[in-house]
Amino acid sequence: MSKKLLFVYNAKSGKARIKTYLAQIIDIFINAGYRVETYQTQCPMDAGKKIEADGHEFNLIVCSGGDGTLNEVVSGVMKLENSPTIGYIPSGSTNDFGKTIGLYKNMLKSANIAVNGTPMDIDIGQFGADRNFVYIAAFGIFTDVSYQTSQNMKNVLGHQAYIIEGIKSLSTVRAYKMKVEYEGGTFEDEFIYGMISNSESAGGFKGITGKDVILNDGIYEGTFIRKPKSPFELSSIVNSLLAGKNKSDAIYNFKTSKCRIMSEEPVSWVLDGEFGGMKEDVEITNLKSVVKIMTNGNAK
């Protein structure tokens, strides 16, 4: 019996590059011995619905799009009784997670890894009772940039689009009074940004998530930035992060497998670059090694 592959792709992602390479990508899949079914997403959450309905019929599910598309696919796979392995062909503007697992901007190279690479167990985050994230849950400054930036702007300017929108948000910095409970302790402060992550980069910038990031150790890296005492301190914090550093008196860093984040008002969260809901009190848990994703073999 031939192996079956479902290829789910977002045709609008990343300057619509998938349209140029679609036939060649399918050839790579067929030459690897797969019988291929393609599915072009039509709207947000469409990928997850397709996989929930039909994913059990396939040995391998490959997706192409941004990190939000990957989030939908992983969330759909996790609802299946027997989870197929996932392949990923990044085509978005930042693709933080794709870089972490050694995937390429070259879509054909990533397509080859999707069918001939090394499967790796990956931790997935549970956010509250009903949402998941692949590599990051975040709130605050810059985090609304990814889902408020138009697809057209992303396609024309790529990563620069996020920078432009991020600069706009600097003029409206808002702080949230929060209490954070994690396995190593508790802290409280007013925060302008916070993230729980499992990636070597965030927002396209490498190093700001901390060192020694391991994708299947059951541990997340937490980074919270308190309200700056002056515009100068805010500028210093931003410059430090853009330089790939996360060491500052204003930055709380910790590692944990679970945490609870409580605020005095609803806070807008972003999961893998997409809107994740408004939360006053949310628990985040690392689900260790619950999915398999194809990598280049060098990811850790």
Structural domains in the chain plus CATH codes: 3-123+291-295 (3.40.50.10330), 132-289 (2.60.200.40)
Active-site residue, selected from the candidate residues 52, 181, 233, 274: 274
d(CA 206, CA 244): 6
d(CA 145, CA 172): 13
d(CA 89, CA 95): 10
| Active-site annotation holds for 190 | no
pLDDT computed for residue 224 by the predictor: 93
Q: What's the distance, Cα to Cα, between the start and end of the chain in Å? A: 33
pLDDT along the chain (300 residues), means of 10: 91 82 97 98 93 97 93 96 95 80 91 97 97 94 54 41 46 85 96 90 67 91 88 75 69 94 96 92 98 89
| pTM recorded for the entire structure | 0.86
